[in-house]
Amino acid sequence: MEILNNFFLIALPYIALALFLVGSIYRYTHKGYKVSSLSSQFLEGRRLFYGAVPFHWGVFFLFFGHLIAVLFPRGVLAWNSQPVRLMILEISAFIFGISMLIGLINLFIRRYTTPRLKYVTNKMDLVIYILLITQTAFGLWIAYNFRWGSSWFSTLLTPYIYSIFKLQPDISAVSLLPWAVKIHIIIAFTIVAIIPFSRLIHFLVYPLNYLWRPYQQIRWNWGRKSVRSPKTAWSLHRPKNN
Amino acid sequence: MDIRSQISMVFHLDKCIGCHTCSVACKNIWTDRKGAEYMWWNNVETKPGTGYPGKWEDQEIYRGGWEKKNGKVRLKGAGKRRGLTNIFYNPNLPVIDDYYEPFTYKYLDLIEAPQGDVQPTARPVSLITGEPIDIKMGPNWDDDLSGTLDYGRNDPNLQNLTQAEQEVMFQLEKMAFFYLPRICNHCLNPACVASCPSGAIYKRGEDGVVLINQEVCRAWRMCVTACPYKKSYYNWHAGKSEKCILCFPRLEAGLAPACMHSCVGRIRYLGVLLYDADKIKDTVHLDDQELVDAHRDMILDPFDENVIREAKKNGIADSTIHAAQFSPVYKYVKEWKLALPLHAEFRTLPMLFYVPPLLPVMASLKQVDNTEDSKKMNPIAKYWDDNWLYDTSTKELFGSLDQVRFPLKYLANMFSIGDEEKIKDKWKKLMAVRIHRRRKTVGDVSDEKANEVLKAAGLTEEQADGIFYLTALAKFEDRFVIPPAHREQAIEMLDFTGDVKGSTGFGFKSKPKRGI
């Protein structure tokens, strides 16, 4: 049992993080052409709405919910100190979880019942569907059975995650958690590990830059103000683009 | 003044014969690939018709282009807020069935089918699934007004036309149509560039060609929504958007783009325009009725010394300024004011201009008593005995303009945001040139009358001859005035040749490293 705990709660996170870091950087720098998700909306645009929208908004809020609990555990505990606020947090998180699960199931059915989508689906997509559906189901199961997750996450899991990042992994508390929680952790790190090898890579390139860039983009091959000036050796002004 | 140069085009619609050679040339070079089979970077539509993708002009469906609301101009279906919140699901994305499902035929079955009682057939199969399909739609499905009940009558440009006017258009014996070849307009205010969340689309400064960087494109597909002309296409196999590149590798080598080079009717003209980029913002904010003229006012006179000086300050090469002075596009758009942008109300400032077609209206159809005329005719000559006169006479100046077979309003909806006077103005010029040339070549038009017509159209004799030359006689070099791209300088900018001198051979961009 201890070997299993050590492997899944210490070794796996480090393997996952290493794969994630090295793989993502490699894919971005060497396979830039493939850093995106292969959208299938063009081939099937109606049923996608009932899958992609609930799934993405659900995962968007839940991802940041978990992240906030990791980054500001005291803040979460302080928020939870009043039962009303705790209930608001837990219930909204549960709703997002359900939205995510419904979205995923819709996406899964859509992808495997629409004939055209067979030709833009690969094996990794199936792996992702299975992992994400299992993960979401376990998340909901945990939220329902082991209350209140937001509080004990901040006291139990946040120190564990910190210990991993501090390179002094401490699993004394985590190894005592119920098996459902452990599986949730294991699948989470597995998903992190396969990000660079799957369509999940697209969330790393969410185009935030769009917010502050000007709408129109012009690119020049040369510095147009200096190219004709005899005073500047224009071959020294190498372009920033391309 | 911020002068930039733009390679732009004029399509002379009177000359288009609808042969689709341009489309085939483009397809063979650029889109004959998996995932791109359905794309026609160049396509030719029959008007009236719904076009490709179906009813693309109706922005209430596709929500492309810019819209002006409360004095502000913004993207209709994309933009920063809409684009980033709809990034999980783009509600305004056309799907493959809006274009058509690409197909081929199982030709091999014709040869390899086993012996049997029935003739083998080549069944159509989908190029997506490979399964046999029932073809519902294809490129140019409504070519030459086929299926007009379904297609022609659903043309979005028929809005504002009364029911009676529409009926006249579709009466069998009065039917008229023309072809509309379309490529990317390489706009000055491109909606695709503005909508791209990844910043993959850009306009090249030197020649204004709008390109999508395939390495940066992350398939958010906002450009497909935003382009009101639906000239940005999503490749479902590669997961990238693609569009017309104006054959820039050919342009840089001094060759005309493939669609233009292959054009049988010689309808296409390509040349440089100098324009004032400072005016873009003000122009797109103007009201509809001022937009078309203001768009033309942005184009600057390449012979003006002030313009030349400012252009040089902005790094525009002498060769480009020279090309701008000989640009056929400048003549058509600015000097003769003959060409108009397509659907300027989308506010993208398209840089592809069209000479509106005259031929469907040149003649009018009326019922006359022609018994006297037919007696005078040679008895062997054929004449219509149903008293319908296909009147191409020049008896009345511009007489047929008032009894057009083709409603002026329809063309105005396409080319001048509903302003019929603008179309009429172009038609007068086109007819004046014809009457003027008839005086010179046939001689049955009096000088007095021809001059009167020219004056009414606002043309001088030299201009009329110029229009005639460029329309009817122009040689290759007259139709395509391509400035040198100075690629040698650009390449030296991209790769410092000194760095790699002596280390690489032909065909290598990186050092040819060898293992053990």
* Contact predicate B273/B333, CB 8 Å: yes
Residue of B93, B129, B316 with shortest CB distance to A41:
B93
Instruction: Say yes or no for a CB contact (<8 Å) between B236 and A120.
Output: yes
Within a domain: residue B500? no
Q: What residues have CB less than 8 Å from B103, skipping those under 6 apart?
A: B124, B125, B126, B127, B133, B135, B138
Do B240 and B376 have their domain in common? no
User: How far apart are alpha carbons B336 and B329 in whole angstroms?
Assistant: 10
> Which pLDDT belongs to residue A147?
85
DSSP B472: I
Residue of A nearest to B488 (CA): A221
Structure tokens at A41: 């909306």
Residue type present at position A47: R
> Which pLDDT belongs to residue A24?
95
Task: State the best of B186, B236, B501 to mutate against chain A, taking most chain A CBs within 10 Å.
Answer: B236
Task: State the best of B220, B252, B309, B316 to mutate against chain A, taking most chain A CBs within 10 Å.
Answer: B220
Residue written as token pair 């299926």 = B147
Q: What is the mean pLDDT of residues B257-278?
A: 96
Interface of A with B in 181-210 (CB under 8 A): 202, 205-207, 209-210
Q: Choose the final residue of a domain: B234, B252, B270.
A: B252
C-alpha triplet A158, A160, A162: angle, nearest 5°: 70
- The SS3 call for residue B31 is helix
**Terminal CA-CA length for chain B:** 60
Pick the closest to residue B159 from B403, B354, B414 (CA basis). Answer: B414
Q: What is the mean pLDDT of residues B147-169?
A: 83
Within a domain: residue B269? no
Which phi and psi angles does B385 have, rounded to 5°?
A: -100, 15
Q: Tell whether omega for the bond before B53 is within 30 degrees of 0, i.e. cis.
A: yes
Residue of A42, A222, A242 with shortest CB distance to B96:
A42
Is B312 an 8 Å CB contact of chain A? yes
> Which pLDDT belongs to residue A225?
74
* Contact predicate B243/B77, CB 8 Å: no
Q: Give residue-wise pLDDT tens across range B164-208.
A: 878 877 876 667 889 999 999 999 999 999 999 999 999 998 899
> Which pLDDT belongs to residue A167?
93
Is A230 an 8 Å CB contact of chain B? no
Is A57 an 8 Å CB contact of chain B? yes
Q: What residues have CB less than 8 Å from B457, skipping those under 6 apart?
A: B425, B428, B429, B431, B432
> Which pLDDT belongs to residue A242?
35
Within a domain: residue B94? yes
Within a domain: residue B115? no
Q: How far is CA A129 from CA A119, A122, B159, B206, in A?
A: 17, 11, 47, 47
Q: Count of A–B CB contacts within 8 Å?
A: 145
Instruction: Say yes or no for a CB contact (<8 Å) between B204 and A35.
Output: no
Q: Give residue-wise pLDDT tens across range B439-472.
A: 899 888 889 888 998 999 999 999 999 999 999 9
Q: How far is CA B355 from CA B15, B65, B322, B435, in A?
A: 10, 22, 24, 18
Q: With bands split at pLDDT 50, 70 and 90, how would you rate the model's confidence at B246?
A: very high
DSSP B332: I
Residue type present at position B275: Y
Within a domain: residue B230? yes
Structure tokens at A96: 């997002």
Is B215 an 8 Å CB contact of chain A? yes
B37 pLDDT more than 70: yes
Residue of B nearest to A116 (CA): B129
Do B90 and B238 have their domain in common? yes
B500 pLDDT more than 80: no
Is B201 an 8 Å CB contact of chain A? yes
B384 pLDDT more than 60: no
Q: Give residue-wise pLDDT tens across range B345-359.
A: 999 999 999 999 986
Q: With bands split at pLDDT 50, 70 and 90, how would you rate the model's confidence at B482?
A: very high
Within a domain: residue B340? no
Task: State the best of A33, A221, A228, A229 to mutate against chain B, taking most chain B CBs within 10 Å.
Answer: A221
Q: Choose the final residue of a domain: B224, B252, B280.
A: B252
> Which pLDDT belongs to residue B431?
87
Residue of A nearest to B79 (CA): A215
Q: Which of A136-140, B375-379, B407-411, B502-506 has the highest mean pLDDT?
A: A136-140
Strand partners, B326: none
* A199: number of Cβ within 10 Å: 17
What CATH number does the domain containing B241 carry?
3.30.70.20
DSSP calls for B359-375: HHHHSEEEE---HHHHH
Pick the closest to residue B352 from B229, B499, B258 (CA basis). Answer: B229
Helical ranges in B173-304 per DSSP H: 191-195, 222-226, 248-252, 258-261, 280-284, 288-297
Within a domain: residue B220? yes
User: How far apart are alpha carbons B337 and B339 in whole angstroms?
Assistant: 6
* Contact predicate A26/A187, CB 8 Å: no
> Which pLDDT belongs to residue A241?
40
Structure tokens at B188: 């000055």
Residue of A nearest to B203 (CA): A218
Residue type present at position A203: F
Q: What is the mean pLDDT of residues B382-395?
A: 55
10-residue averages of pLDDT along chain A (242 residues):
86 96 93 89 94 96 94 92 93 96 97 94 95 96 91 90 92 89 95 95 92 92 70 52 38
User: How far apart are alpha carbons B299 and B416 in whole angstroms?
Assistant: 17
Q: Give residue-wise pLDDT tens across range A11-35.
A: 999 999 999 999 999 999 988 888 9
Residue of B95, B203, B315 with shortest CB distance to A45:
B95
Do B86 and B223 have their domain in common? yes
C-alpha triplet B299, B18, B65: angle, nearest 5°: 45
> Which pLDDT belongs to residue B499?
61
Residues of A in contact with B203 (CB under 8 A): 216-219
Structure tokens at B255: 């060759």
Q: List chain A domain ranges.
A: 2-207
Is B204 an 8 Å CB contact of chain A? yes
Within a domain: residue B511? no
Q: Within 13 Å and on the Cβ side, how many CA atoms surround B298?
A: 28
Do B86 and B221 have their domain in common? yes
Q: How far is CA B9 from CA B213, B257, B352, in A?
A: 23, 11, 5
Q: Provide the number of structural domains found in chain B.
A: 2
B127 pLDDT more than 70: yes
Q: With bands split at pLDDT 50, 70 and 90, how would you rate the model's confidence at B490?
A: low
Q: Which domain holds residue B178?
A: 17-103+121-252
Residues of B in contact with A52 (CB under 8 A): 88-89
Residues of B in contact with A223 (CB under 8 A): 315
Residue of B198, B214, B237 with shortest CB distance to A207:
B198
Q: Choose the final residue of a domain: B220, B252, B284.
A: B252
- For the CA atoms of B420, B425, B428, B432, the dihedral, rounded to the nearest 10 degrees, stands at -170
- Residue A48, H or E segment: helix A47-71
Q: With bands split at pLDDT 50, 70 and 90, how would you rate the model's confidence at B339?
A: very high
Q: Give residue-wise pLDDT tens across range A189-231.
A: 999 999 999 999 999 999 999 999 999 999 987 777 776 666 6
Q: What is the mean pLDDT of residues B136-164?
A: 85
Query: In this structure, which topology does domain A2-207 adopt according to CATH?
Result: Fumarate Reductase Cytochrome B subunit (1.20.950)
Q: What residues have CB less than 8 Å from B324, skipping those under 6 apart?
A: B5, B271, B272, B273, B274, B302, B330, B483
Is A112 an 8 Å CB contact of chain B? no
C-alpha triplet B358, B359, B360: angle, nearest 5°: 100
- The predicted complex's ipTM stands at 0.89
What CATH number does the domain containing B434 carry?
1.10.3650.10
